């Protein structure tokens, strides 16, 4: 078993490296900015969903409030940049740290809640964040923050037309989130989480350790999502509360993981690779009609996939469990 596990982990790492190299080479062939745009969003959501998966998938604490951390990351970066001239690279770290701290602060009372109570509490806290930013004059309130663009600059991480730097950053974020997940899977924390998910009562005996590991998961997850938020702000170069902290982001972070396979290493990547291009294409194709056809197509697919494959699309690829047992 242990041997198998180790072998599988080695295999995963190799596959990931190969995929990353292939992804890194795509811009050589794909010159079209629209396709590049889709690729960037796909990678970004894969990374976000992977981060979400750490807390919600592996730890089993389903959060539909991660938009809070996404928005905090975006706002911290841009407030520091526009008000104090702090370069986005530092802002990104600051945003991550702020989000991680808040996640831990919230984790303390939140982890006492179970099931629906926890889910609703996460939705509600993100909604409070949204409302506060909406009414915070200094942070631009509803007007949002426009990031002044003065030409290409690596220092300020802003580029007029080329999308390549954004692409590679998104790729890096996605790889980082994947690698963190991969590493956590085999850590002490990963072991506790599996134990908690399989048998909550037995895990009670682990007590404090489990609680701390959950806090850790919340912090790591929030940190990565906040970095994603900073990236998004730089990429779009305009933020307002609704467009970085809205409920739709919480869902968009969860959806790829759920569709691909929640609590799995590859689920979020697979889910994002299918979901994001699909969303964009349905909008290109049907969006101009004003009849809501894009919504119908999109919604039907979600219903069908979640009904047909409750373990996510990944379950299509996994070998039946029996073979493993027979060996």
Partner 1 sequence: MGLLYGLIAVGLALIFGLMDVTNFAHGEFLMIAMYLSFFLFAFFAIDPLLSAPLVAAALFIFGAVIYLLIVRFAMRAKANAGMVQIFTTFGLAIVMRGLAQFFFTPDYRSIPQSWLGGKTISVAGIFLPEPQLVGALVSILAFAGLYFFIHRTDFGRALEATREDPGAVALVGIDKNRVFAFGWGLGAALVGLAGAIMASFFYIYPDVGASFALIAYVTVALGGFGSVFGAFAGGIIVGLVEAVTALVLPPSLKSVGIYAVYLLVVFIRPRGLFGSI
Partner 2 sequence: MTITRRDVLLGATATAALVPLAARAQTSEVVIGVIYPFSGGSAQQGVDAQKAYETSLEVINKDTDFDLPLAKGEGLPGLGGAKVRLVFADHQADPQKGRAEAERLITQEKVSAIIGTYQSAVAVTVSQICERYQVPFVSADNSSPSLHRRGLKYYFRAAPHDEMYSAAMFDFFDAMKKKGTKIETLSLFHEDTIFGTDSGNAQAKIAGERAYKIVTDIKYRANSPSLSAEVQQLKSANADVLMPSSYTTDGILLVKTMAELGYKPNAIVAQDAGFSEKALYDAVGDKLEGVISRGTFSLDLAQKRPMVGKINEMFKTRSGKDFNDLTSRQFMGLIILADAISRAKSTDGEKIRDALAATDIPGEQTIMPWKRVKFDEMGQNNDADPVLLQYIGGKFVTIFPPQAAIAEAVWPMK
Residues 224, 258, 270, 275: which binds partner 1 (CB under 8 A)? Answer: 258
Collect all residues with Cβ–Cβ distance below 8 Å to 25 and sequence separation of at least 6. none
In the list partner 2, partner 1, none, the entry touching 9 (Cβ below 5 to 8 angstroms by class) is none
Residues 7, 26, 135, 152: which binds partner 1 (CB under 8 A)? Answer: 135
CB 133 within 8 A of CB 75: yes
* Backbone dihedral angles phi then psi of residue 291, each to the nearest 5 degrees: -110, 0
Nearest distance, CB of residue 282 and partner 2, angstroms: 10
Question: Is residue 134 near partner 1 by the rule CB under 8 A?
Answer: yes
Supply 217's token pair.
């998961």
Nearest distance, CB of residue 124 and partner 2, angstroms: 15
Nearer to partner 2, 78 or 240 (CB): 240
Question: Is residue 18 near partner 1 by the rule CB under 8 A?
Answer: no
> Judging by beta carbons within 10 Å of its beta carbon (0-12, 13-18, 19+), is residue 315 exposed, middle or buried?
middle
Residues 6, 128, 143, 236: which binds partner 1 (CB under 8 A)? Answer: 128
Give the footprint of partner 2 on this chain (CB under 8 A).
32-34, 37, 41, 131, 134-135, 141-144, 146, 149, 160-161, 232, 236-240, 242-243, 280, 283-284, 287-290, 292, 294-295
In the list partner 1, partner 2, none, the entry touching 255 (Cβ below 5 to 8 angstroms by class) is partner 1
CB 69 within 8 A of CB 131: no
- Eight-state DSSP code of residue 58: I
Question: Is residue 194 near partner 1 by the rule CB under 8 A?
Answer: no
In the list partner 1, partner 2, none, the entry touching 237 (Cβ below 5 to 8 angstroms by class) is partner 2
Euclidean distance between CA atoms 187 and 192, whole angstroms? 9
| Nearest by Cα to 261 from 305, 228, 221 | 305
Question: Is residue 104 near partner 1 by the rule CB under 8 A?
Answer: no
Residues 310, 316, 318, 324: which binds partner 1 (CB under 8 A)? Answer: 310
Collect all residues with Cβ–Cβ distance below 8 Å to 114 and sequence separation of at least 6. none
Euclidean distance between CA atoms 67 and 284, whole angstroms? 25
Euclidean distance between CA atoms 305 and 274, whole angstroms? 12
Question: Is residue 125 near partner 1 by the rule CB under 8 A?
Answer: yes
Residues counted in the chain: 327
- Could you tell me where the beta strands, DSSP code E, fall in the chain? 145-146, 238-239
Euclidean distance between CA atoms 177 and 189, whole angstroms? 16
* Backbone dihedral angles phi then psi of residue 266, each to the nearest 5 degrees: -100, -15
CA atoms within 13 A on the CB side of 315: 15
Nearest distance, CB of residue 154 and partner 2, angstroms: 17
In the list partner 1, partner 2, none, the entry touching 128 (Cβ below 5 to 8 angstroms by class) is partner 1
CB 199 within 8 A of CB 193: no
Nearest distance, CB of residue 321 and partner 2, angstroms: 41
Binding mask 62-81 for partner 1 (x = CB under 8 A): x-x-----------------
Binding mask 283-302 for partner 1 (x = CB under 8 A): -------xxxxxxxxxxxxx
Nearest distance, CB of residue 262 and partner 1, angstroms: 6
Binding site for partner 1 (CB under 8 A): 62, 64, 109, 112-117, 119-121, 123-125, 127-128, 131-132, 134-135, 251, 254-255, 258-259, 262-263, 290-304, 306-307, 310-311
């Amino acid at each position: 078993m242990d041997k198998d596990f180790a072998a599988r982990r080695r295999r995963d790492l190799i596959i990931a490296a190969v995929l990353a190299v292939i992804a890194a080479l795509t811009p050589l062939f794909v010159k079209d900015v629209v396709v590049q745009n889709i690729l960037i969003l796909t990678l970004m959501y894969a990374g976000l969903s992977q981060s979400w998966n750490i807390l919600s998938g592996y730890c089993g604490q389903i959060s539909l409030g991660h938009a809070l951390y996404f928005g905090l990351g975006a706002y911290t970066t841009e407030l520091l940049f526009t008000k104090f001239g702090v370069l986005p690279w530092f802002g990104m770290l600051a945003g991550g740290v702020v989000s991680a701290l808040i996640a831990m602060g919230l984790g303390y009372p939140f982890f006492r809640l179970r099931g629906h109570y926890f889910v609703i509490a996460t939705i509600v806290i993100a909604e409070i964040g949204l409302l506060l930013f909406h009414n915070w004059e200094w942070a631009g309130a509803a007007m949002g923050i426009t990031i002044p663009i003065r030409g290409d600059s690596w220092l300020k991480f802003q580029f007029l037309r080329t999308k390549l730097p954004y692409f590679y950053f998104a790729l890096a974020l996605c790889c980082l989130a994947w690698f963190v997940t991969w590493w956590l899977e085999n850590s002490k924390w990963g072991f506790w989480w599996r134990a908690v998910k399989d048998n909550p009562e037995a895990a009670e005996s682990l007590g404090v350790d489990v609680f701390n590991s959950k806090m850790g998961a919340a912090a790591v997850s929030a940190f990565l999502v906040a970095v994603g938020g900073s990236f998004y702000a730089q990429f779009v170069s305009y933020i307002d509360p609704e467009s970085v902290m809205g409920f739709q982001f919480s869902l968009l972070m969860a959806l790829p993981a759920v569709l691909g396979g929640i609590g799995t290493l590859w689920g979020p990547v697979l889910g994002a690779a299918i979901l994001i291009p699909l969303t964009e294409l349905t909008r290109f194709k049907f969006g101009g009609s004003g009849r809501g056809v894009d919504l119908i197509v999109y919604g039907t697919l979600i219903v069908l996939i979640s009904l047909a494959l409750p373990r996510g699309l990944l379950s299509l690829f996994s070998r039946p469990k029996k073979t493993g047992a027979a060996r």
